[in-house]
Structure 1
């Protein structure tokens, strides 16, 4: 299993370096000896343009295991420069993101650990089932795989976890709260919630 997980992540790294959406960052951590730690990734998810989150660039640490892709990575937001956790109803004080697509307990049954590689333009799309790439939101050059665990959006399309995290920022799931204060403010004083999110976004502007 270890070889499958690491091999897939190496391929996803190649795909990411060749073609990734503007504003997103994803790269394995570098060990003290200069080698890459392919199971630990430092990422940046930009806030959606023209939203209260849009001014920020939010650091996310992804931790994979040798069970990937059957088990999704654990994803945590980094703290703001003021050393406070991200102010969001679906982010635990630890930074862990509360999102069903990233919850191994809710992701059942697990998909087969098959590597998904986007076809070259001259090739037809592959139909082998696979979990969506955690790094690559859908693009014109990356057809979406058929996944036994789709992550549907409201318009019926599917998203990668990194894309879903970006969407979650501006569209919190109030039915699954993870942090009491932003949940309470979001429900009881939307203007105050938006003010605090905009203030927070400015702190994350240069991440």
Structure 2
């Protein structure tokens, strides 16, 4: 696949995002040292879903694309690792739609990925644990799990 395909697709997704981004989200390409835009690396923010224990936090995500995008998914990770059953301690996210072997399809775009990660926050998949402690609490001690989630929301609240 030609290197230009990934960049052209990401440029189109950027245009689309700027016209129709979900409320409370942000996503922008990283700026290179020479002040040029790096379409292969994005800084993103996902708000905790309203009405959930995650509400109030904005969770920073890095998305790193390769020249093989959209044939291959981006690598997505929380810049600050969070307490969650499907997030590894290094911040890597365990989610089928960004897994090349399970749920990735080239038609999936950046907006769908970010909405999927937001949905995962309050709807973890206990069958695919990345953090055993978080998964155990989610399954066996919901009040303690909720307490820890609310601490995450406070820790990631926007500083004003």
Fold shared, TM-score > 0.5 on shorter chain: yes
TM-score by structure 1 length? 0.73
Superposed structure 1 runs of 4+ greater than 3 Å apart: none
Candidates 160, 164, 174, aligned match of 2:126:
174
Q: What do residues 22-47 of structure 1 show as CA deviations (whole Å, max 9, x unaligned)?
A: 10100000011100111000000111
* 1:95 to 2:91 alignment: yes
Alignment of 1:2-41 (within 5 A): 2-41=3-42
* 1:134 to 2:110 alignment: yes
CA distance in structure 2 between the partners assigned to 1:102 and 1:74 by the alignment:
8
CA distance in structure 2 between the partners assigned to 1:76 and 1:48 by the alignment:
18
Pairwise CA RMSD: 1.3
More helix per residue: 1 or 2?
Answer: 2
Q: Compute the displacement of 1:181 (Å).
A: 1.1
CA distance in structure 1 between the partners assigned to 2:39 and 2:46 by the alignment:
19
CA distance in structure 2 between the partners assigned to 1:179 and 1:163 by the alignment:
21
CA distance in structure 1 between the partners assigned to 2:14 and 2:79 by the alignment:
21
Q: What do residues 99-139 of structure 1 show as CA deviations (whole Å, max 9, x unaligned)?
A: 0110012247x54xxxxxxxxxxxxxxxxxxx12112xxxx
TM-score by structure 2 length? 0.94
Candidates 186, 194, 202, aligned match of 2:138:
186
Report how many aligned residue pairs link the two structures.
Answer: 158
Alignment of 1:38-187 (within 5 A): 38-79=39-80, 85-107=81-103, 111=106, 131-135=107-111, 160-187=112-139
CA distance in structure 1 between the partners assigned to 2:57 and 2:148 by the alignment:
13
Structure 2 residues without counterparts, runs of 5 or longer? none
